[in-house]
Amino acid sequence: MITLLDAMERKESAKRIRRQGLVPCSIYGPGVERNMDIQIEEKEINRFLKSHSIGAKTKVKINGNELPCVIKSIQYEPLSTKPMHIEFYTSSEDRLVKVKVPLKFKGKEQLSRNNLVLNILKDDIEIEGVLKELPEFVEIDVSLMKDGSVITMGDVALPAGIKLLSKKEEAVLRVAEASQPEQGEIAS
């Protein structure tokens, strides 16, 4: 389900609207005539970001128009981790879009049962596809992996119509045997 975010065009400085409980954002891309500075209520953005991140699809309603968008970047305040600024890329739903989406790993519990450790080297993947077909994340099943197994970007299964833009040879994860403390060592 695609979430609809209500926005208003922004006329004031980003600093001033943050004090008013709003998050400054920008929308750009072929779906708009010009780049637009907008603002969205912080409560609405926080609810949205609990289950979405960079690469997530959404619709932004502004001036009565609903624009299909992808989140391109999110800037957070360093100490409070509150969102400071969000960039939305808009396009028609039938147009190709390049985006980074998160990788999710399924079956980690099975590795633990087999005394194996999952070393995640990369937690996102760059892909290209038609906006309406883009996944919000890509899932990798690691439950059947063995000690020494490696998965590269080229090994990741993508939905039909989605093209890999990350380097095929780039390692995503490695599986290794969990080290056991020797007799007399104290495990911390």
CATH of the domain at 19: 2.40.240.10
Q: Clarify whether residues 103 and 86 are in a common domain.
A: no
Q: Could you tell me the residue range of the domain that residue 121 belongs to? A: 98-177
Q: Clarify whether residues 10 and 69 are in a common domain.
A: yes
Cα separation, 40 vs 59, in Å, equals 13
The pLDDT of residue 184: 55
Final residue before a domain boundary, out of 91, 106, 132: 91
Q: Would you say residue 185 has pLDDT above 80?
A: no
Torsion of Cα atoms, 85 then 91 then 96 then 98, to 10°: -10
Residue range 1-57, pLDDT digits in tens:
568 899 999 989 888 999 999 999 999 998 788 899 999 999 999 999 998 888 888
Flag whether 74 is in a domain.
yes
Q: Clarify whether residues 18 and 33 are in a common domain.
A: yes
Final residue before a domain boundary, out of 66, 91, 116: 91
Q: Clarify whether residues 36 and 13 are in a common domain.
A: yes
Flag whether 130 is in a domain.
yes
Domain count, the chain: 2
Token pair 């960079």 is found at: 54
Residue range 108-163, pLDDT digits in tens:
999 888 899 999 999 999 999 988 888 989 999 999 999 999 999 999 999 999 99
Q: Clarify whether residues 18 and 84 are in a common domain.
A: yes
Cα separation, 4 vs 11, in Å, equals 22
The pLDDT of residue 83: 93
- pTM, 2 dp: 0.74
Question: Of 35, 64, 56, 48, which is closest to residue 5 (Cα–Cα)?
Answer: 48
The pLDDT of residue 32: 85
Q: Any idea what the CATH number is for the domain that residue 108 is in?
A: 2.170.120.20
